[in-house]
Structure 1
Amino acid sequence: MTSLLAVLIDGSIYASWLFLVAAGLTVIYGVMRILNMAHGSFYAIGAYSAASLVGWYFNNGMGPAWVSYLMLVGAALVAGLIVGVIVERGLLRLMYGRDEILMVIITYALLLILEDGMKIVWGVSPYFAYQPYSELGRTSLGLLKVSNYDLALVGVSALLGLGLWAWLERTNQGKVLRAVIHDREIALAMGVNVKLMFTITFVLGTTLGALAGALTAPAISVVPGIGIEVIVLAFAVVVIGGLGSIGGAAVGALLVGLSRAAAVHYAPEFELFVIYGVMSLVLAFRPEGLFGRTLARKI
């Protein structure tokens, strides 16, 4: 029972992190049909911004520890907003309507540029912001001790998923956005400002990516290359769930998280392969993903 509980807890924590990373990626694809390879760099920018700000705060003994949690979120919001607006207005807006493969190449080039840019700004030495992680302490669950920060991450991920669903399903702006998703041309003909909706969507996606990085920063050492590592996992999650589906991203993250946790505890030698095994199994029966929609071609 202890081993099974450990798998469930570890899998849920890992799944919550995966969902945070993948949510922004699937939102951008769902509306803009852009497979954003640079999403990992937005994650890394959020992590670097949060780690440097929180590290400065604690190194200078500025005040109470709870302020650092506000700094994590604030750094992500500012970084995501600034980078998202610059990239969408300065680059992607010039490329709308181009082939999806070309957009993949463009965003991959942007990934390489941003990775080198982060090295120029923050250098290559690791950044640490462990204080918010350790301040919350640990909780005993039977024979297991679990970090309260990790448990809080599960709650944040669930609230974020519910918030995205409520925004898309229950608000007027969300309904307009869904109209753009289903038929961009008709939405434009009905007077919807599609370019503005694209800007809002892309900034939301970059902010979600930066938020994932900021919330992860206290649990890791922030070093060059972390963005490249997570983009592969994020793509696996959204492909399993179905490109453009928030619910699919949540289910895909849960499947991957629990599968990886089971492999770590019962068959560690398969840890590196289990994620791609799950993806291959799903795609063998559902090529469009678990919740993906088959789109008709427009002639």
Structure 2
Amino acid sequence: MFETIVPLLIDGLANAALIFLVAVGLTLVFSVLRVLNVAHGSFYSIGAYAAASLGLWVVGAGLPGWLTFASLPLSAALVAVIVGPLIERTLIRWAYGKSEAVQILVTFGLFLILEDLQRIVFGVDSFYEDTPVQLLGSIEIGGVVYLTYQLVLILLAAALLVGLKLFIGHTRIGKLIAAVVADREISQAMGINTNRVFMIAFSLGVFLAALGGALTVPQAGVSPGLGADTMVLAFAVAAIGGLGKIEGAAVAAVIVALARVLAIYFAPELDAVAPYLVMLLVLLVRPYGLFGSATTRKI
């Protein structure tokens, strides 16, 4: 029993860690900007390509292997700093206040553009750079061997969840973001520079998605189409947890990841649809998600 349950749990939590990073970025952007960003999955794949490229450069240059660890968050930060403000100040800012249909069409167009740009820049070959996994090695628990990297991912996701809560609740920028989420019009009336808050929140969402992609590279690599798969999965997780709810994204990521792992182990033919079956069941019972609730909407 132990040898069956523990591997399922660890595989599920490690998978959930990566899903959470993408979904929480998506839900954060939606809670602040009220924009359904279909292109969010592209930031995940861009972060993965950037991390793979930087990591391969570190290894090719003969630099110490431990620098590949630093390349993972560094590549995500570079993507956020370069891509985040550029896209938010142009395309996304234009979509503020528009209908959900317009937002989806605009961001889906952005998604197609970003996917084509990735193919132009990185080609259609897969990239692999697993130095961090090799350096960390494996660990044996109860007679079962696990990749230490998987355990690190779980701890990192938990730390980021706590860090996000502390950032929102105990920093000036975080409190400004919370104020804008609560009431955008009153925040503007009080003198808060909402455009600056929007740019910071969007860039933070880009960073989280890119970080998820970067952390995927050492254990799974990156290949064309990664952004599309991740985008659909992130929306499913955000819907299950409740759009705009950070805790909901964390819980939903665990539920979806465990559903996928259970499907892989016991019913492989259901692997692709397991997350969406979970989403369907949850939304039938709670249409606003596990942590969501009905709210009034200003017209």
- How would you bin the TM-score normalised by the shorter chain? over 0.9
Report the TM-score when normalising by structure 1.
Answer: 0.96
Offset from partner CA, 1:110-167 (integer Å, 9 cap, x none): 0000011111111112211111122110011123211111110111111111111111
Structure 1 residue 251: Cα displacement: 0.5
Cα separation, 2, equivalents of 1:258 and 1:128: 25
Q: Secondary structure at the match of 2:139?
A: strand
Which consecutive unaligned segments of at least 5 residues does structure 2 have?
A: none
Offset from partner CA, 1:249-289 (integer Å, 9 cap, x none): 00000111122222222333322222111111110111000
Partner of 1:163: 163
Report the TM-score when normalising by structure 2.
Answer: 0.96
Partner of 2:249: 249
Partner of 1:67: 67
Following superposition of structure 1 onto structure 2, how do residues 227-246 of structure 1 map, counting pairs within 5 Å? 227-246=227-246
2:136, 2:149 within 8 Å by CA — same for their partners in 1? yes
Answering whether residue 30 of structure 2 is matched by residue 3 of structure 1, we say no
Cα separation, 2, equivalents of 1:118 and 1:266: 35
Cα separation, 1, equivalents of 2:117 and 2:294: 38
Offset from partner CA, 1:166-198 (integer Å, 9 cap, x none): 111222322221111121111111111111100
Which consecutive unaligned segments of at least 5 residues does structure 1 have?
A: none
Cα separation, 1, equivalents of 2:166 and 2:119: 38
Question: Which letter does structure 2 place at the counterpart of 1:159?
Answer: A
Partner of 1:289: 289
Aligned Cα RMSD in Å?
Answer: 1.2
Following superposition of structure 1 onto structure 2, how do residues 114-263 of structure 1 map, counting pairs within 5 Å? 114-263=114-263
Partner of 1:90: 90
2:8, 2:262 within 8 Å by CA — same for their partners in 1? yes
1:3, 1:265 within 8 Å by CA — same for their partners in 2? no
Cα separation, 2, equivalents of 1:69 and 1:190: 43
Partner of 1:26: 27
Question: Which letter does structure 2 place at the counterpart of 1:107?
Answer: T
Structure 1 residue 19: Cα displacement: 0.4
Q: Secondary structure at the match of 2:160?
A: helix
Structure 1: 4+ residue segments shifted above 4 A: none
Moved more, 184-193 or 165-174: 165-174
Question: Which letter does structure 2 place at the counterpart of 1:51?
Answer: A
Cα separation, 1, equivalents of 2:161 and 2:203: 17
Question: Which letter does structure 2 place at the counterpart of 1:166?
Answer: L
Moved more, 118-127 or 23-32: 118-127
Percent of residue pairs identical: 46
Question: Which letter does structure 2 place at the counterpart of 1:96?
Answer: Y
